[in-house]
Amino acid sequence: MAKSQVTMTVNGKPVEALVEPRTLLIHFLREQLNLTGPHIGCDTSHCGACTVDFNGMSVKTCTMFAVQANGSDIRTIEGMANADGTMHALQEGFREMHGLQCGFCTPGMILRAYRLLQENPSPTEEEIRFGISGNLCRCTGYQNIIKAIQYAAAKLRGVPLQEAAE
């Protein structure tokens, strides 16, 4: 099958590649770029395990083609760490608050939470529940994911963490 050239920025780095027109973005990220953080959990855009940050939006990469990402700016879990190499407040929050178990939904969940906090730096519990409802988790029952996001929100706003952590 004829391949198309795509260029994009992934985790701050320029990427140039040849892809088949039908290659899904998730397969491009995982198999051509070896970014295996985003996962595949369903075929129907329901689970959100493949969520990345795409031009300032949360996007499920199982439902778009790599060619559609031409010229885009993408961030995956592999690009979440702070510039100094320490973990992002969300990564830290998920660990501190036990916001994950099997870890399969976690990269997508963190990327979704990242965009949520960009749009709403101090969400209520209800806003968080609604905001992450496109991402499924089978292990945690969401309660500690919500705490993890609250923890990160507090830390990013510079509010004492005591408030977020129980």
Partner 1 sequence: MNDMTPTSAERAEKLEGMGCKRKRVEDVRFVQGKGNYVDDLKLTGMLYGDFTRSPHAHARIKKIDTSKAAAVPGVIAVLTAAELKPLSLHYMPTLAGDVAAVLAEEKVLYQNQEVAFVIATDRYIAADAADLVEVEYEALPALVDPFKAMAPDAPLLREDIKDKTEGAHGKRKHYNHIFTWEMGDKDGVDAAFKKADVTMKEMISYQRVHPCPLETCQCVASFDKIKGELTVWGTFQAPHVIRTVASLISKIPEHKIHVIAPDIGGGFGNKVGAYPGYICAIVASIVTGQPVKWVEDRIENLSTTAFARDYHMLTEMSATKDGKVTGLRVYTIADHGAFDACADPSKWPAGFFNIVTGSYDFPVAHVAVDGVYTNKAPGGVAYRCSFRVTEAAYCIERAMDIMAQKLGMDAAEFRMKNLIRREQFPYTSALGWEYDSGDYHTALNKAMDTVGYKKLRAEQKAKQEAFKRGETRELMGIGIAFFTEIVGAGPSRNCDILGIAMFDSAEIRIHPTGSVIARLGTKSQGQGHETTYAQIIATELGIAADNIMIEEGNTDTAPYGLGTYGSRSTPVSGAATAVAARKIKAKAQMIAAHLLEVHDDDLEWDVDRFRVKGNPERFKTMTELAWAAYHGVPPGMEPGLEAVSYYDPPNMTYPFGAYICVLDVDVDTGTSKIRRFYALDDCGTRINPMIIEGQIHGGLTEALGIAMGQEIHYDDDGNVTTASLMDYFLPTAVETPHWETDWTTTPSPHHPIGAKGVGESPNVGGVPCFANAVNDAFRFLGSTHIAMPHDNWRTWTVAEKLGLHA
The interface mask with partner 1, positions 92-111, x = CB under 8 A, is x-xxx-x-xxxxxxxx--x-
Stretch that binds partner 1, among 17-25, 53-61, 63-71, 156-164 (CB under 8 A): 17-25
The answer to whether residue 84 forms part of the interface with partner 1 (CB under 8 A) is no
**Half-sphere exposure of 26 toward its Cβ, with a 13 Å CA cutoff?**
21
Q: In angstroms, rounded to a whole number, what is the distance separating the alpha carbons of residues 53 and 35?
A: 14
Of all helices (H) and strands (E), which one includes residue 16? strand 13-19
DSSP 6: E
The mark string for 34-73 relative to partner 1 (x by CB under 8 A, - otherwise) is xxxxxxxxxxx-xx-x------------------------
CA distance 13 to 59: 19
Single out the residue of 33, 137, 153, 164 in contact with partner 1 (rule: CB under 8 A). 137
Please tell me whether residue 67 adopts helix, strand or coil conformation: helix
Which range of residues in 33-41, 64-72, 116-124, 155-163 is near partner 1 by CB under 8 A?
Answer: 33-41
Between CA 54 and CA 74 the distance in angstroms is 5
Query: Is residue 65 within 8 Å of residue 21, measured between CB atoms?
Result: yes
- Contact stretch for partner 1 (CB under 8 A) within 67-75, 88-96, 115-123, 152-160: 88-96
Q: Which residues bind partner 1 (CB under 8 A)?
A: 20, 22-23, 27, 30-31, 34-44, 46-47, 49, 76-78, 80-81, 87, 91-92, 94-96, 98, 100-107, 110, 128-130, 132-146
